[in-house]
Amino acid sequence: MFYTLERRFAKLLHIPERLVDGVGMYRVATLSLVALSVLSLGASLLNWLAYSLQALLTALTIALGIGLGLNIILAKLWRITANHESAIITSLILFFMMIPSAVFASNWQLAAAVALGILSKYLLVYRKQHIVNPAAVGAVLVVVIIGSINLVGGTSYNTDIFSWWVANPTLFWPVLILGLLIVFKIRKWTPVLAFIGVGLTVFLIEEFRLGFLSIDSISLYFVSFPTLFLAFFMLTEPFTMPPTKHSQAVYGGLVGVLSSTTVFAPFLAMTPELALVLGNLFAYCFRMRQKLYLKLIAHREIATDTREYVFEKPDTFRFLPGQYLEWMLPHKGADSRGLRRYFTIASSPTESVLRLALKIMPEGGSTYKQKLATLDQGEPIIASQLSGDFLLPKDTTTKLGFIAGGIGVTPFSSQLRHMVDSGQVFDTVLYYCANTVGELAYKTDFQQMDLPLQVIPVIAKESVTAPDEAGFVTVDMLDRRTPDWRERTWYLSGPPGMVNAYQALLRQAGLPRRQIETDFFPGLA
């Protein structure tokens, strides 16, 4: 009964995942914020908001005009490719944080925050990697500047200028639905849930301590505070997030505490934007602190419509087998999937190069892959955002089962190569699933490894001979080929549909959830 409910709930969650899988991460965030802006204008027109349509349009024009214009100018000065979507996201977030005015000059704080936020992407960087959320630091810097003017000049200009007007009952459902699409896209539930859970707990404690606790306190936290907007649209910013689930949970919890507590009130006005900036500084301790400009050494076909790209590996770069990077490839005329992709590193940390393997269709496909297909030796690709928890267990006595779907074999390539080079060996069986034998990348490499490794190709659309298997992995196949499969920890990697199906298969067969690990897959984009 419990498993049936769990499976139905999982199927329900996969619907929004499939909806956003074909769209780039930044495009999802941009479209969500644009949709929220349009809905806000409509709500104003219907008098559902306290702000006039003219005020919203004036503030929106200022935010986008300054954000995009300054981003173009700075990109030319720095001689880099301008990321316009990033500028739009920063501008729109700040638009929702400050009360708009129909008087052009009265929006000067918004203009200043947008300008400082865009500037922070170019100035508050280390090794070409920005450190804090641009929108949040833009807001914080405006308050710091006004406070400094008050301190030096003896003035009393208001520093409580960011009201987060997006947090109101009219926009609650749009923020919730559009924000959830972003989290479904990037699969970063850990920091979001940690932030909300810890923040709500601290908020209720503070309400009790101050004598305000009531039955409406929970709805107040979600509807009248910027909880959801901060969690979905800002906390999830990939460049400012730590790499593993444990550090992400601590990061989310820390921002939740800081944004809800009144402990600092006697000497510091702890605002949501300041809480996020402090959380970003904490996360920076765990992040990869540089962008990698990797030059292509060589590329080769390793399976049908599948190529491996080999890049120079910087001496200072460290990663764990099974982790992934964001690979950015600037090119003109990019389609809706954008300039960025997440790909697992196919090489072992012990190798002197970085390997990237992916499907390259002979015709059509995304503009990203078309550009990659024409990349010449010596040309660069930009890698950043090292992340991932799809890691081998620490106990080498753990018996492992791998199920790979197509190019989902890349993390296993990294892990098996690492076993060979490091001597940290696991008893492993690999079920390698593909439509045809020709699609099996690295098959020969795996079979030649001096490891306690059994490789079992499972071919869906082509006749095979023993010891290969036809069709799909089933419980009967596991019983026959791997009798001790219930004793193993299973790692599943591949397209979302395949991973979800085999996870359901193992769970339905009675395997505990703790014995199943699934690879992060941010979608087809």
Tens-place pLDDT, residues 476-498: 999 999 999 999 999 999 988 89
Pairing relation of β-strands 353-359 and 129-130? unpaired
- Residues 6 or more apart from 215 whose CB is under 8 A from it? none
| Inter-CA distances, 199 with 230, 234, 286, Å | 12, 15, 22
The fold of the 292-387 domain, in CATH, is: Elongation Factor Tu (Ef-tu); domain 3 (2.40.30)
Closest CA to 409 of 517, 519, 328: 519
Q: Are the C-beta atoms of 356 and 309 separated by less than 8 Å?
A: yes
Residues of each domain in the chain carrying CATH 3.40.50.80: 400-518
Q: How many angstroms separate the CA atoms of 312 and 431, rounded?
A: 31
Q: What pLDDT, on the 0 to 100 scale, is given for residue 38?
A: 98
For helices 189-209 and 245-260, angle between their N-to-C axes, nearest 10 degrees: 30
Task: Please give the radius of gyration of the chain, using alpha carbons only, rounded to the nearest integer.
Answer: 25
Residues of each domain in the chain carrying CATH 2.40.30.10: 292-387
Q: Give the number of other CB atoms < 10 A from CB of residue 39.
A: 17
DSSP element (H, E) containing 219: helix 217-223
DSSP element (H, E) containing 204: helix 189-209
The pLDDT tens digits along the chain (525 residues) read 444 544 554 566 667 777 777 787 888 999 999 999 999 999 999 999 999 999 999 999 999 999 999 999 999 999 887 788 999 999 999 999 999 999 999 999 999 999 999 999 999 988 778 899 999 999 999 999 999 999 999 998 888 899 999 999 999 999 999 999 999 988 899 999 999 999 999 999 999 999 999 999 999 999 999 999 999 999 999 889 998 999 999 999 999 999 999 999 888 889 999 999 999 999 999 887 778 999 999 999 999 999 999 999 999 899 999 999 999 998 888 887 778 889 999 999 999 999 999 998 767 678 899 899 889 999 999 999 899 999 999 999 999 999 999 999 999 999 999 999 999 999 999 999 999 999 999 999 999 999 999 999 999 999 999 999 999 999 999 999 999 999 999 999 998 889 989 999 999 999 999 999 998 655 444
- Runs of H (alpha helix) within 328-374: 367-373
Q: What pLDDT, on the 0 to 100 scale, is given for residue 5?
A: 46
Q: What pLDDT, on the 0 to 100 scale, is given for residue 10?
A: 54
Polymer length of the chain: 525
Q: What pLDDT, on the 0 to 100 scale, is given for residue 525?
A: 41
Q: What pLDDT, on the 0 to 100 scale, is given for residue 19?
A: 74
Q: How many angstroms separate the CA atoms of 484 and 137, rounded?
A: 54
Q: How many angstroms separate the CA atoms of 165 and 51, rounded?
A: 9
Q: What pLDDT, on the 0 to 100 scale, is given for residue 11?
A: 61
Q: What pLDDT, on the 0 to 100 scale, is given for residue 130?
A: 82
Residue range 400-518, CATH number: 3.40.50.80
Q: What pLDDT, on the 0 to 100 scale, is given for residue 337?
A: 77
DSSP element (H, E) containing 150: helix 134-153
| Inter-CA distances, 26 with 190, 211, 327, 363, 518, Å | 20, 42, 14, 26, 24
For 454-468, write each residue's pLDDT tens digit. 999 999 999 999 999
Reading the block at residue 337, the tokens are 């999937």
Q: Are the C-beta atoms of 100 and 164 separated by less than 8 Å?
A: no
Instruction: Report the chain's mean pLDDT, rounded to a whole number.
Output: 92
Q: How many angstroms separate the CA atoms of 138 and 157, rounded?
A: 18
